[in-house]
Structure formats: C-alpha cells, structure tokens
Structure 1
Amino acid sequence: MWNGQLSLYIVEATFAEIGTYECHVAQTGTNNSKAAILKTKPINTLNLTMEPMKVFAAPGEIAILPCEVPNKESIGAVMWTRSVLNLEKELFYQSNASDPSTQPPHYANRVRLMYTDMQKGKLTLFLYGTTFDDDGTYECHVTQVGTNNSKAAILKTTPIKSIKLTIVPVPEGFEIDQRLEACDPATFFQPLVFAMGATVVIIGILKYCVCWHKAAPCIAKLLIKE
C-alpha cells in the first residue's frame, strides 16, 4: 500500500458482485479502525456491471452453455432458466436428492449437463437441435448442500452465469458439415502435403534424368570397348 497502489481484484466474478464499490483510505497517524475509515470520503467510486456471455449456434447444432461454480462447494441443486418477456422459465433442474425433473415440452429430451457429477462444479448445459425459437438469455442458478433446494427457492438466487444465445442462419447451400470441415486443419494441410510430395518426386525424376544423360556416353564407351 505504501506505493499508493490500492487496486482491487475480484477473481472469478459472478453476477452476485454487481454493484457500487468505494475505496476509502486512512492516513498514517489517524484512526485506522473500520468504523473510522468508513466515515471518510471515498477517494474513488466504481459501478461494476456485467454483460451476458455471447454464444452463437446454427440451426440444428448443439449449443454449449458454459457454467462452473467458482468456489467448488458442494452443490445441492442446479437450475437453468431462460428469460422470456421478463419471465423466468425453467429449462433444466437437477438435485442431488432427485432425478432430473421433466423439462417443458419445447426442451424435453433436448438438454443435459455435460457431466453427471455436479460435485465437480461443472454445470455446462448442452442444448441439442437448436432452432430460432431458442434465441434468448439463459441463466445458471445454484444452491449449496443444506439449503432450500426447491425450485421456488433456487429461482430467487442470483445467477452465477448469464448467457445470450443467438441462433444464426446458415447461408444457402452451405451445410453445417462443410463449415465444420473447413475448420479442420487436416482439410488444409492434406492437399499441401500432397503437393509437396509430388514436387519432391518430380525433382527426383529430373535429377535422375540429368544424371543418366551425363552418364550414358560413358556407359556406351565401356560397352563398345568390351
């Protein structure tokens, strides 16, 4: 602190950290108690906001909505919701004490967690067979073991992750498989390796022909002498 560097770092921030932050300072020789320093005028005030993470997917693809519990505490229940017209609609719910609940008809058999063991803190959700109706903001809510894990209670918690999912149209005649193949490095390097191999072969043939042309007269003379 003696260098005057008082910047604060919030590691793995979540939406629970959104708010107004103030930096208070007490000088040497003054009352440095917490009560006294809180009465001082802040030297800096900041408003912390967070934008939803943006995820894009094409129709028919699998949308991956990442979510991870920062402190890796024991998870009692997880719920994914989708905000539609300021209403929270249940998308997926799972508790350690029960099997995953039934999803709304639109999401039935289309969603699952990446991992079955919630205790690892990995709560990433897979959304299969995306359509344009899946556009929207998705939130990941979590409760800890020993707390109220009811759906009503978990909806009141602050989401630890907010994701804006956008379904983008695929150009006509441009299939998903073609897009994925275009991202495969092997698709680019295979023709390059073939061309390099063919070049080496051609150079070898040319060298052989040149050497044979130079050696042919000598071989002919030896055959005549014999």
Structure 2
Amino acid sequence: MLALLYREPHVNSDSTCGSFKNRVNLKDVTNRDVSLILKNVTAADTGTYECKVGQAGDQFDPKIISTVGLKVKPDQKTIRVKYGETVTLPCRAPLREQLDVAEWSRTDLESDQFVILFSDNRVNDGSQSPSFKNRVKLQDVENGSASLILKEATPADSGTYECRVVQGGNSCRKRDPLDTDLLSIVNLRVGESDCFCIRTSSSFLVLM
C-alpha cells in the first residue's frame, strides 16, 4: 500500500494506506513540488519513505527521486497521583477510527502479561496481569483512543507503562499481528495517602 498516489489530475485516495487516510497531501504539485505533507505525526509513522515520479510516456515505470528516513519518538509523560485516585494514561492513534489492536504493558511485568490487551474487538482477559483485573479499561477504542483508565491507584502501580496499537484496517507494511506500534510511554508515580497518625501517651491523633 501507498502513503499517497497522485495521477494527474488528482490524488487516488483508494490507493492510500488506511493509517495515512486524510493525513497526507502534496505540497505544490502544480509547480512540480511533490514534497509529502504528513499531519498528526505519531511514532507509528517511523520508517523509510520513497518518492517516485513518472512522466508521461514512462509506461507507468516511475523512478525513485528521493528517500527519506523518518524517526518519530513516542510521546513520553510523567504523571503523579495520590493513593486511591483514578488516573488516565493518555494514548491516541493517528485516526479517529476503531483500533485493531491496543495494548498497555508495564516494563516490570512478565513478557506474556499485559495491563490490558484489546484485540478481535474484545479485551483478552487471559493475558491480563491479576493486579489490574477489574481496575482498568480503555477510554474510546471506537474513535482511536487507547488511553488507559486506572482506578484505585496504589504505590504498587508505580512504574513505566507503554501503549502500543495497530490501526487503519489494511496494514501499511507486512508484519506479525502482534507487531504493534509504540505510541506512548508514561511514568506513573503514586504517592501514599495524605494521612498521618501521631501517637500520644494514651491515644492516636489522625491528621488528614
């Protein structure tokens, strides 16, 4: 599939790869400037891009005139919350469309365990770490949001979380179904409760 195909006099949208839909255009094709404009860039756009141009009479055999390597770092945030709070860890795919796969992992979990894994239009409970069962959900996978909602946060939830997704229907490259794109890294820090107990000679004084 292609990021963009232009055949005079217009762009052939049917040939555009799903994840680039409505995000790409040519800068000024009228004046022979076919630089690619890519909007709403995410780490999923990392890769090597080739610009091929063919002139009339080339018998549909375009030549490579430019190769560009694009590297986009995933979004990184540090979030601090208090004990017992509900927290949202942000992660959004390029398109406001249904996600094919969405997964959140934490770097200190076993390799076969996830904070949450969404695939085949459902959450895969069998792969979820027991410590997150019934406490996490994805915000809006139907509209491209894989943001994680975590309830009743505790200090044990502190760690580095990674969000990966697959989106866009037809993949823009051949890959294993679980070869997902890293979009977001969140360092979560959960503090202790703001409650202090002071013992006097005969009783406890609790300060909130």
TM-score by length of 2: 0.53
Deviation at 1:74, TM superposition (A): 4.1
Q: 2:136 aligns with which of 105, 108, 111?
A: 111
Amino acid at match of 1:65: L
What is the distance in 1 between the residues matched to 2:74 and 2:170?
31
Q: Which structure 2 residue ranges, 5 or more long, are not aligned? A: 1-27, 196-208
User: Based on CA coordinates, which of the two structures has the bigger radius of gyration?
Assistant: 1
Deviation at 1:126, TM superposition (A): 0.9
Q: Is the 8 A contact 1:69 1:160 kept in 2?
A: no
Deviation at 1:18, TM superposition (A): 0.7
What is the distance in 1 between the residues matched to 2:45 and 2:88?
24
What is the distance in 2 between the residues matched to 1:51 and 1:94?
20
Q: What's 1:159 paired with?
A: 181
Q: Is the 8 A contact 1:31 1:37 kept in 2?
A: no
SS of 2:36's equivalent?
Answer: coil
> Does 2:161 correspond to 1:137?
yes
Deviation at 1:104, TM superposition (A): 1.1
Deviation at 1:24, TM superposition (A): 5.9
Q: 1:71 aligns with which of 89, 92, 95?
A: 95
SS of 1:106's equivalent?
Answer: helix
Deviation at 1:108, TM superposition (A): 2.5
TM-score by length of 1: 0.50
Amino acid at match of 1:50: K
Amino acid at match of 1:105: P
Give the aligned length. 160
Q: Is the 8 A contact 1:77 1:144 kept in 2?
A: no
**RMSD over aligned Cα atoms:** 4.3
Q: Is the 8 A contact 1:56 1:167 kept in 2?
A: yes
> Does 2:43 correspond to 1:15?
yes
Q: What's 2:115 paired with?
A: 91
Deviation at 1:111, TM superposition (A): 1.2
> Does 2:63 correspond to 1:37?
yes
